[in-house]
């Protein structure tokens, strides 16, 4: 991992193309804080929200993680001509593209720039700002449970 390439910051401005929200499979993992915000948005109980909007995703670490569902075309379940819960969206969404998996080496960042028209262009985000976003993601881990427990 060579994240020295971002020491002078990275450029990103969202173009609202929705490529990160639609048309490709993926996971949007939810922290307790994310879930609380979405419960406020939906006015649903925790149990009902999880049943309607979420799925449990098994991981090789022996846990399954709570993620938003996708529609059959791979759009996020919250997508309908834009994010229907934009002001309440999960940290994973608001932190994009400043995820560990994208900013820890130059090659991965450059590959991301091929998929996202806002990456590598627009506003310069300082190394310190990016680190704060990364730290926040670590401080708000995804909800998980042991595989097999319900």
> For residue 124, what is the enclosing H or E element?
strand 119-125
Closest C-alpha among 124, 133, 126, 36 to residue 93? 133
Residue 149 is predicted with a pLDDT of 75
Decide: 93 and 86 in contact? Cβ < 8 Å. no
Per-residue pLDDT reduced to its tens digit, 103-146: 999 999 999 999 999 999 999 999 999 999 999 999 999 999 99
With a cut of 70, which residues of the chain have pLDDT below it? 1-2, 150
Q: Say whether 2 sits in a helix, a strand or coil.
A: strand
Domain ranges of the chain: 3-146
Residue 86 is predicted with a pLDDT of 94
At 120, list the tokens: 């590598």
Residue 2 is predicted with a pLDDT of 65
């Amino acid at each position: 991992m060579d994240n020295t390439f971002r020491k002078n910051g990275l450029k990103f401005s969202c173009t609202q193309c929705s490529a990160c929200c639609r048309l490709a499979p993926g996971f949007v993992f939810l922290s307790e804080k994310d879930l609380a915000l979405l419960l406020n948005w939906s006015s649903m109980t925790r149990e009902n929200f999880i049943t309607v909007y979420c799925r449990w995703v098994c991981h090789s670490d022996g846990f399954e993680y709570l993620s938003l569902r996708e529609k059959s075309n791979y759009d996020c379940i919250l997508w309908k001509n834009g994010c229907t819960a934009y002001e309440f969206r999960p940290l994973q969404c608001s932190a994009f593209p400043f995820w560990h998996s994208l900013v820890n080496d130059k090659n991965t960042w450059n590959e991301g720039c091929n998929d996202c028209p806002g990456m590598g262009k627009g506003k310069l985000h300082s190394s310190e700002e990016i680190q704060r976003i990364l730290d926040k993601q670590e401080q708000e881990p995804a909800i998980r449970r042991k595989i097999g427990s319900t």
